[in-house]
Amino acid sequence: MDFEQVIRERFAARKFSDKEIEAEKLDAILEAWRIAPTAKNLQPIKIYVIRSAEWLAKLDKASPCRYGANTVLLVCWDKETAFMKKDATRTLDVHSTYEMDACIVATHMLLEAINQWLGNIWVELFDEKIIREEFDIPENLVPVCLLPMGYKADDCPMNPSHSIRKSIDEIVEYK
């Protein structure tokens, strides 16, 4: 699929079939993460691939938003690795770029999933404490989002407002 089709086809899929994602498609999605840009190329992101019934059940304790997907990627950032942006004097840490890095990585994987003809959704509604306990997440890792993905169910609904977009004139200003 060409890039324009990928970005136009993507929508938040909220109903998945039970068809398993083929290994080569999952590998392509994970490769999209591996080559995604991160601040100073520190790659402070860890992905947990959740596929077994046992681990999906554990995930369901933490979030109601799996929508029947049989594969979920849990995106975490590493506090020990992420780049810290300094203030103008270059003396104080202002903030970490972890959120930008995690968003770039997740977006690369979501777009590659569409390229592989797979539906997906970005989920931030989860209980971090339960995720940490159920998946034994070390303290240096912080869960950022869940990416349920798979083959869309035949009756997968699209959000009615999905194609309502502001005009370029409303969102872009040239100076």
DSSP 64-132: S--TT-SEEEEEEEETTTS-EEE-TTS-SEEEESHHHHHHHHHHHHHHHHHHTT-EE--B--S-HHHHH
Q: What is the predicted pLDDT for the residue at 51? A: 97
pLDDT digits (tens, 9 = 90+) for 145-161: 999 999 999 999 888 88
- The pTM for the full model equals 0.90
Q: What is the predicted pLDDT for the residue at 93? A: 64
Q: What is the predicted pLDDT for the residue at 149? A: 98
For the chain, what percentages of helix, strand and coil (3-state, to nearest 5) are there?
35, 20, 45
Positions in the chain short of pLDDT 50: none
Residue with tokens 């690369």: 108
pLDDT digits (tens, 9 = 90+) for 21-41: 999 999 999 999 999 999 888
Q: What is the predicted pLDDT for the residue at 14? A: 96
Q: What is the predicted pLDDT for the residue at 84? A: 79
Q: What is the predicted pLDDT for the residue at 154? A: 94
- Structural contact between residues 97 and 81, judged by C-beta atoms closer than 8 angstroms: no
What domains appear along the chain, each with residue ranges and CATH number? Answer: 3-153 (3.40.109.10)
